[in-house]
Amino acid sequence: MMTKQEQFLWIVQTTILANGINLASVPELAERYRAVISASGTLISADEAVRASTLIPEEKSAFEAAHEFCTYVLTNLRDIEDKAREKKMEVPAWFARS
pLDDT for position 64:
98
| pLDDT tens for each residue of 10-48 | 999 999 999 999 999 999 999 999 998 999 999 999 999
Q: Is the pLDDT of residue 7 over 90?
A: yes
Residue 97 forms part of a structural domain: no
54 in a structural domain? yes
Q: How many distinct structural domains can be found in the chain? A: 1
When pLDDT is averaged across residues 62-87 and rounded to a whole number, the result is 97
Residue 55 in domain: yes
- The whole domain housing 30 covers 4-92
- Mean pLDDT, residues 76-92: 95
As to burial, measured by CB atoms within 10 angstroms (0-12 exposed, 13-18 middle, 19+ buried), residue 66 is: buried
Looking at the domain assignment, is residue 70 inside a domain? yes
Q: How far is CA 75 from CA 3, 12, 20, 32, 40, in A?
A: 27, 14, 11, 10, 14
> Does residue 98 form part of some domain?
no
Residue 39 lies in a domain: yes
Q: Give the model's pLDDT for residue 98.
A: 82
Q: Is residue 48 part of a domain?
A: yes
